[in-house]
């Protein structure tokens, strides 16, 4: 008789179905992965690919907001850029934010 009561759901049952409790957590992890983690990883991969493909005479924008043109690529991971007034700056390749060709070609 006790077996019948337990099978029918009687008795002190706590927590319910464990799978029903885990499903919302799994869904939250999946949503975070597809909407936050994956796009960030994709952008980081594209940025790394862009930085590796830099060459002389590329127009760039640094993470500090400085526009310049690459004049020399060094083997130690740095580049020399020329800014508008003709002065030159030595910066890390990792400080390059994006391509600035379209921005620098616009007239003010």
pLDDT in tens, 42-80: 999 998 999 999 999 999 999 999 999 999 999 999 999
Closest CA to 68 of 101, 92, 94: 101
pLDDT in tens, 39-50: 999 999 998 999
pTM of the model: 0.63
């Amino acid at each position: 008789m006790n077996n019948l009561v337990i099978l029918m759901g009687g008795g002190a049952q706590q927590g319910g179905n464990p799978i029903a409790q885990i499903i919302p957590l799994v869904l939250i992890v999946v949503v975070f992965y597809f909407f936050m983690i994956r796009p960030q990883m994709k952008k980081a991969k594209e940025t790394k690919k862009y930085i590796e493909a830099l060459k002389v005479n590329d127009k760039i924008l640094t993470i500090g907001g400085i526009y310049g043109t690459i004049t020399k690529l060094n083997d130690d991971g740095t580049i020399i850029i020329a800014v508008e007034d003709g002065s030159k700056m030595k910066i890390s390749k990792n400080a390059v934010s994006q391509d600035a060709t379209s921005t620098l070609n616009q007239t003010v």
